[in-house]
Chain A
Amino acid sequence: MKSPDGRVDWLFPHGMTIEKLINDVLMVVFFFTVGLEIKREVAHGELSSVKKALLPVIAAFGGVIMPAVIYTLVNRGTMAASGWGIPTATDIAFAVCILSVLGDRVPVSLKVFLTALAIADDLIAILVVAFFYGGHINLLLLVISIVVIFVAWLFKYFGQKHVWVYLMLAVMVWILFYYSGIHATMSGVVMAFIIPSKARYERPYVLHKIRFFSQKLLSYDQIDDETMFPNGPQRHFLRRIHKTAYGSLDMSYRVEHALSPWVNFVIMPIFALANAGVEIPDLSYFNIFSTAGVTGGVGLGIFLGLVLGKPLGITLFSFAAIKSRLCEMPEKAGWAMFFAVACLGGIGFTMSIFVDTLSFQDVAVAEQMQNAGKIAILVGSLAAGILGSLLITVVSKSDRQRD
């Protein structure tokens, strides 16, 4: 059994550095919450029915295919060709941030559309990472990891409700994925789909119990001193209410709710601090339009993919789907506003940087290419954000004048 660098350390993976710890361990938690989010949206949210999900999913495919095609056209036949996955991602945090700053200029239906699109986009990015950016696969370990995942599913099937059981299995899956050549972060996504999303108690039971305990709580309110709250019996019923409320929330929700602040305010900022720091020896690094030099057209491919490919892909695929009556246009939205919002899909940032760190690993000038890629992601994301914001402002102004 070998680690990606050919050696094994059972206590801690060999060759682990702070940067790898952030990208291979902390990012598992990020991908885990992304998986939970996708699962929730598929079960109850914007992707829960075919009718609702079709437009964002088709648009997300367009937003992945078009940038990948543009990147490949720019870099075909060169060492940089393997980076086609970099401009295909959308960063939901930045997109939502800009939408919230723009306020009521964007119709609510398009805000919902962009959020659903970003989630569908994340799912495609996960598949891209899993299938195209892993290492050499060790089939034996892969089979063992599938067995462990099956065991986790059996635990779920037989109603195991303890988080620590799934946590132990998740660690095992992470180790097996790490050594088998599949990117270790994918273990987070797999476990997100495994952990139970069914609450321990059913709705009638919860409502009955909460009502019963609340009545008891009130009935003991004035047995001795009313300033004494909670008194002995009340403490008992408050504990029972707490236990019932806890059991009425499914594990997926509880875990997602507990992890979200850590992911949003600790893990993602740490990831950005560790990965966005690109050393720029001279200003020519910012010349992303140059295809000369060792990095070839990495920068140009990513920039065009994000700024041009994303909005074009999203809009053209959606246009085809709506005109063929497969889907309906989001309410109160015109094509100009649709295109403007689609531009925000070009903010790749986190996921793009993540794919960038996985690309070009077999290339001699990998570091330079990754750095050129990061600069292009930052510039491209910034350009897409500014372009989207400007277009939304202009289109909403003209819409209001027309009204």
Chain B
Amino acid sequence: MKLIPIYTWNRSVLEFNRKRDRITRQPWFQGVLLLLCVIVAMLLANLPVVSAYYHAFLETSI
């Protein structure tokens, strides 16, 4: 009885992985991802709430 939900869950994970792979293999995906990162970086650097944390994080010594 317990096998059915596990199977359903496994199948949904597999389907998710398949969809993810299909999208990430598209040639446009990387460009769009980089563009999103640029937008997020600009927001992080300029929003007063997070800007100080963003710069402090990048300057953190290791």
Identify which of B26, B27, B38 gathers the most chain A CB atoms within 10 Å of its CB.
B38
Bound form: Cα–Cα A280–B26 in Å? 33
Bound form: Cα–Cα A22–B58 in Å? 9
Nearest first, the 7 A-B pairs at minimum CB distance are A97-B31, A277-B45, A100-B27, A277-B41, A272-B37, A276-B41, A19-B58
CB 8 Å contact bits of B32-62 with A (1 = contact, 0 = none): 1111011011101110000100110111111
A264 neighbours in B (Cβ, 8 Å): 30
Bound form: Cα–Cα A12–B42 in Å? 30
CB 8 Å contact bits of A268-288 with B (1 = contact, 0 = none): 110011111111100000000
State the A residues within 8 Å of B (CB). Answer: 12, 15-19, 21, 93-94, 96-101, 261, 264-265, 268-269, 272-280, 349-350, 378
B55 neighbours in A (Cβ, 8 Å): 279
Closest chain-A Cβ to B31's Cβ sits at a distance in Å of 2
Give 9 pairs: A residue, B residue, CB < 8 Å, sorted on A.
Answer: A16-B61, A17-B61, A18-B62, A93-B30, A100-B27, A265-B24, A269-B33, A276-B37, A277-B42
Across the interface, name the chain B residue whose C-beta is closest to A268: B34
B28 neighbours in A (Cβ, 8 Å): 97, 100-101
- Chain B residue total in the interface (Cβ 8 A): 28
Across the interface, name the chain B residue whose C-beta is closest to A97: B31
**Contacts A97-B27, A274-B41 given: A21-B34 contact, CB under 8 Å?**
no
Across the interface, name the chain B residue whose C-beta is closest to A16: B62
State the B residues within 8 Å of A (CB). Answer: 24, 26-35, 37-38, 40-42, 44-46, 51, 54-55, 57-62
**Contacts A93-B30, A265-B30, A268-B30 given: A274-B58 contact, CB under 8 Å?**
yes
Q: Is the Cβ of B62 less than 8 Å from the Cβ of A277?
A: no
Across the interface, name the chain A residue whose C-beta is closest to B62: A16
Q: Is the Cβ of A93 less than 8 Å from the Cβ of B59?
A: no
Q: Is the Cβ of B31 less than 8 Å from the Cβ of A94?
A: yes
Q: Is the Cβ of A21 less than 8 Å from the Cβ of B31?
A: no
Q: Is the Cβ of A265 less than 8 Å from the Cβ of B45?
A: no
B29 neighbours in A (Cβ, 8 Å): 97
Across the interface, name the chain B residue whose C-beta is closest to A350: B34
